[in-house]
Amino acid sequence: MLADALEGVRVVDLSRILAGPWCTQNLADLGADVLKVERPQTGDDTRSWGPPFVEGAQGEKVAAYFLACNRGKQSVTLDFAQAAQRAWLLRQIQDADVLVENYKVGTLARHGLDYASLAQLNPRLIYLSITGFGQSGPFAHKPGYDYIFQGMGGLMGYTGIAPGEAGAGPMRTGVAVVDLMTGMYATSAVLAALVQRARTGRGQHLDIALLDVAVAMNANQAANYLVSGENPGRIGNTHPNLAPYEVFECADGHIILAIGNDRQFAAFCTLVQSDWHLRPEFATNAARLTHLRELRPLLRAALAPRAVAELGAALDANGISWGNIHTLEQVFQHPQVQHRQMLQTVAHPDLGSLRLVRNPMLAPGTHKPVAPPPTLGPAALAELRPA
């Protein structure tokens, strides 16, 4: 099982907020032994990023944000500016396979916790640094959060309400997608480095930057620009390369209509009793994109009187992709989400019963029980993990 894939791999997690913890949560879900090192008294910043909070029987109050990205770890509190506590941490690192950190460039070097120093202590160590701008370059010294990189990396340059529409302007996504994607890229990099170490016997320094990830995740939008030389504009809920591929209002709600080829469009036209697919300006995907301003009001008029359930059934019968726009309450009530066991309940020693989301890398019903996020750990010198 994948849940045992990293059994025996020891990870020292010096990261906080989201990108680093998302990576180390993935590693924990895959079976690694993850030691989360937190600041005394306060711990990871996200423990207080609320409301909402969960309050435990012993008075611990933890933000839901922290619970989202720290399951399966042990916690220890430590101030590595103190010599004795730093020495304890070095003993853990000497035996570790992976270290993950997201401090500003140069911070850990002042305490002898940089890669160059630790590689002498443990040549097999895979040392992952996650920073805003990377380990080198004119901006390497600057801090930054996800929101900054959604803007700087280009995502908000074409995400938002289209010009001429009410509220036009840039918009961020509803979750920290650059952080999450950075955590996923970082996970892949660590796994690749573990495979490579099995061949070479040596670790390495992995340098993952949020700005790099933000640029990379532009995907087809970046390719569109590099091919055409034209900056993509804000097009709201439409698609830059497909039409119709957007949200439409029906009589009792909204649907996402996602037509991926001309055959599907012809089937859709038959369904709504139109001959648009026979008209040259709408016959091909490229033509529909060019003439979307003319096509969109026709689509809106055809779909506005239809009920979502009735229209959805007809689209399904014709092999046309569509979807609802769900609240999270509806998401967790959806029969497919329930079948896939995406919602899991775990027992926390202080916070009681917690509902968490299953890691989609692990097939439903085939993995070990989910371990809860940790309470803020004991002081390091209490020897939670003896050397």
Whole-angstrom distance, CA of residue 248 vs CA of residue 300: 6
Residue that has been written with the tokens 């027992």 in this structure? 347
Closest CA to 290 of 301, 279, 304: 279
**CA separation for the pair 226, 337 (Å, rounded):** 38
Distance of CA 230 to the CA centre of its chain: 28
CB 182 within 8 A of CB 120: no
**What is the signed CA dihedral for 204, 362, 214, 226, rounded to 10 degrees?**
100
Residue 131 · residue 140 · CB < 8 Å? yes
Look at residue 119 and give its three-state secondary structure.
helix
Rounded Cα distance, 187 and 199, in Å: 19
Of 179, 207, 252, 262, the catalytic one is 179
Q: Is 44 a catalytic residue?
A: no
The stretches of the chain forming alpha helices (DSSP H) are 19-29, 64-67, 83-94, 115-121, 146-152, 155-158, 177-200, 210-216, 219-228, 262-271, 285-290, 292-303, 308-317, 328-333, 335-339
Asked if residue 27 lies in contact with residue 74, where contact means CB atoms within 8 angstroms, the answer is no
What is the secondary structure of 69-118 as a DSSP string? S-TTEEEEE--TTSHHHHHHHHHHHHT-SEEEE-PPTTTGGGGT-SHHHH
Question: Rounded to 5 degrees, what are φ and ψ at 196?
Answer: -65, -40
C-alpha distances (whole Å) from 311 to each of 156, 239, 249 are 33, 21, 12
Question: Which residues are bridge partners to 131 per DSSP?
Answer: 209
Instruction: Output 238-243 pairs: Cβ under 8 A, ≥24 positions apart.
Output: 238/162, 238/292, 240/158, 241/289, 242/285, 242/289, 243/285, 243/288, 243/289, 243/292, 243/295
DSSP secondary structure letters along 297-309: HHHHHHHTTS-HH
As annotated, the active-site residues are 179
